[in-house]
Structure formats: structure tokens, C-alpha cells
Amino acid sequence: MLLSPSLLSSDYGHLADELKALEKADLKWVHWDVMDGQFVPNITLGAPIIKCLRKESNLFFDVHLMVDRPERFLVDFAEAGADLICVHAEAGNHLNRTIQEIKKLGKQAGVALNPHTPLNVLDYILPELDLVLIMSVNPGFGGQKFIPYTYAKVRELKERINKLNLKTLIQIDGGVDLTNAKALVEAGADVLVSGSAFFNFPPYGERVKAFYKAIE
């Protein structure tokens, strides 16, 4: 299991320090929630911020674009230093083309699904994906309550991935905490995104240990 803390819940006034603290806690990934005020109600940060902070960190930058027509911004985020770019299936008209463009830019490609979106939207593109992000809350705000039917959705997706003999990772984002981490991993999750349930409980090294202990 990989833990990818969501900077949405971090101290935006000290992001460079937060990234250093995550590395010190022996984490490998960090999750960037990019919101545009259109696809979701909130506005967070953009490519210039990620570009400034890329030189401050060796973490794997897991960039989640919660934006309309994400194909407009792929080059910007690739050049900013994203390692993986994840777009929403609901956000554009030409998902296959968008995935191809991410790959051409030399980045890993992911697709995110809102809670109501069925898995069959992935039927023809799943083999092209490095990661599928299952939203376990409605996107746009931190601190929301986890949606229970996520477990069934993760199990079904894992079955499809195994049937096709793929290495596609399953990521969960929304309401992930110590109470549901084990059940999510048992259902098939590979990467857990945690925001307030992680950053609100420093020191980060101890919080990482708590998450790993929770899935034992």
C-alpha cells in the first residue's frame, strides 16, 4: 500500500516545509488536488505553484486535475513537474485522446471517477492506464464523509484489472482514515489519499506508522 497525503489539507503558507516533512516521514508520494472553480466549486492551485515546489522535493507528484477540459492544461502540468496526471472521466469529451497526450508527454496517466460514475466508462481504456482514482466523496471539498459503496466499486475494479492481467493501480480519495484504510486495501486499493485525517495529526512520521499499523 502507498500513502499519498493530499496537500489540500496542508498548510498552504508553508508548502515547501510540508513537502520536506513528508519526505522526512519516509513517504514516497504526495497528492496535489487542482481545482478550477468550474468542475468543482473550489479553486486551489495551478501549475506555477507545482513548478515552484518541484525543485523543493523528490516526492512522486501525483497530480489530480479536477478541472473542466483538462486537455488544455496537460503540457503546463507536465512541464511543472507532475509525475502522474489524473483527469476526470466526466470532465472532457475525448478521454482516450487525453490519455494519449499524457503518455506522449512522458507522464503516467490516470483517470478519476466520481462516486456516481460507473466503471464501464473504463471498458476500452483500462489497459492504457497506470492508475484509476475512485472518488469516495464528491469532489471539491476536504473533510467529507466516506461513501460506503466505494468498497464494492473497488472490488469490482480489482477483479477487472486482475482478469486483464494489468498492473493498473487503484487509488482512493475522500474520507480515507484509520477506520477504513484496512477495508479499502482488502478490497483492492493500492494507493490511499488522505487529507485532513493525515495532516491534522502531526508528527507525520507517527501518522504514517499509524496508517500502516491500521492495515495490518
Residues flagged as binding site for a divalent metal cation: 31, 33, 64, 173
Catalytic residue selected from 123, 173, 177, 190: 173
Active-site annotation holds for 190: no
Q: Could you tell me the three cell numbers for 143?
A: 473533510
Q: Which residue has the cell 478490497?
A: 187
CB-count exposure of residue 96 (10 Å: 0-12, 13-18, 19+): exposed
CA distance 44 to 40: 10
CB of 99 closer than 8 Å to CB of 109: yes
Contact indicator for 55, 79 with CB cutoff of 8 Å: no
Binding residues for substrate: 6, 64, 140-143, 173-175, 195-196
Q: Which residues are annotated as a binding site?
A: 6, 31, 33, 64, 140-143, 173-175, 195-196
10 Å CB burial of residue 97 (0-12, 13-18, 19+) is: exposed
| Alpha carbon distance 176, 197 (integer Å) | 7
173 is catalytic: yes
User: Which residue out of 26, 33, 68, 130 is catalytically annotated?
Assistant: 33
SS3 66: strand
Looking up cell 516545509 gives: 17
Residues that are catalytic: 33, 173
